[in-house]
Structure 1
Amino acid sequence: MINGIPSLIVGNLGRDPESQQVNGKTIARISVCVTPRVKKQGQWGDGAPVWYRVTVWDQYTAQHILNSLHKGDHVVCYGVVTSDEYQGKVNLEMSADVVGVDLNRSDVQVMPRQNNGGQSRQTPGYANRQATRQEASAGDPWGSGDGFTTASSDFGGSDEPEF
């Protein structure tokens, strides 16, 4: 049973991510400021900022956050939000399963995740698929080829379409 409200928040980091050791594992904590847009007297403007204290428990994700994100970065977080009140102030906490960056505001390069043995966690045929995509997209300004033809070997024998 979920003890909180599953939520998606989008905002800016108020400070650099902080690490903490819990039961011998590294977790990450970030402060995210969400500024809602509100309409006052027919004009849109920024509302009062809402702060969330976000905790990431997955060690890999936490380490990646600690190495990659900095104060001011625009982030997207998905997880469970809980709240409590202390001395008349509401505190919003999120236990996040997913933390990412907003591609409208950040340039990123996606790299396949590496496991501990140094071997890529790529599906069979990954490098071949990348080369085929590059060849197919050479004359395509969208870089997608026709978007409909894929070899089933690209997916390790699966008949699932690539998304």
Structure 2
Amino acid sequence: MEANVTMSGYVGGDVEYRSGQDNRVATGSFRLACTPRIRRGGDWRDGETTWVTVTCFRALADNAASSISRGDPVIVVGRLRTQVWEGRDDGERHERMVLEALTIGHDLSRGTSVFKKFERSVPLEDPDAELGELIANAEAKALGDEEADEDAA
């Protein structure tokens, strides 16, 4: 079962962006700092900060890299994943929780933002429509050839 998680906090550093070259998808990642405010004895203070790695892919990675910076308050909705790897030096198994982002946005309760709609490139022609046009042309040519054969007879 998939469960979406929503987290808010501050971007801990610039987005590490890798462009989608050599048949790879564009990826982005950054650390998200979530620090709760705790009231004790009438005073407010910061609790322990939880750090989460956020990853994103494709257009979301492109847009995150160009839109968010260190210190920005953001809200992230995504899926919690466990990332597992073998250590290079010790050969031991390591793991950490990663938030695979489905959407990222500025937290507007902490400031303002300006939205610029993502401009898509011109979509390619529909390949099915192109195939249909080729078939129609071939059928028309075949009908034309049959009519020419009938006229010659």
TM-score, normalised via structure 2 length: 0.63
Deviation at 1:92, TM superposition (A): 3.0
| Aligned residue identity for 2:14 | D
Task: Give me the CA root mean square deviation.
Answer: 2.8
Deviation >6 Å, runs of 4+ = 84-87
Partner of 2:25: 25
The one-letter code sitting in structure 1 at the alignment partner of 2:65 is L
**Does the 8 A contact of 1:14 with 1:33 survive in 2?**
yes
Name which one, 1 or 2, has greater alpha-carbon Rg: 2
> SS of the residue aligned with 1:25?
coil
**Unmatched runs of 5 consecutive residues or more in structure 1:** 119-163
- The 8 Å contact of residues 51 and 92 in structure 1, kept in 2 or not, is answered as no
Moved more, 13-22 or 62-71: 13-22
Q: Provide structure 2 residue ranges, at least 5 long, that are not aligned to the other structure.
A: 86-91, 124-153
* Alpha carbons of structure 1 residues 110 and 21: separation in structure 2 relative to 1, 3 Å: closer
Aligned to 2:61: 62
Which has the bigger relative contact order, CA under 8 A and spacing at least 6? 2
Cα distance in structure 1, aligned partners of 2:14 and 2:115: 22
Could you tell me how far 1:38 is from its partner in structure 2?
2.1
1:83–1:46: structure 2 CA closer, same or farther, 3 Å change rule? farther
Identity of aligned residues (%): 24
State which of 11, 14, 17 in structure 2 corresponds to 1:16. Answer: 14
Deviation, 1:90, is: 8.2
Partner of 1:125: none
**Length-normalised TM-score, structure 1:** 0.59
Listed as ranges, the matches of 1:1-163 within 5 Å are: 1-2=1-2, 5-20=3-18, 24-57=24-57, 59-82=58-81, 91-117=96-122
Say which structure is richer in helix. 2
After superposition, give the CA deviation of every residue in 1:84-114 in whole Å (9 maximum; x if it has no partner). 7999x98431011010001133322223331
Q: Equivalents in 2 of 1:46, 1:96: separation in Å?
A: 26
Taking the aligned partners of 1:6 and 1:39, their CA distance within structure 2 comes to: 29
Report how many aligned residue pairs link the two structures.
Answer: 114
Return the letter of the residue paired with 2:68. L
Between stretches 89-98 and 12-21, larger displacement belongs to 89-98
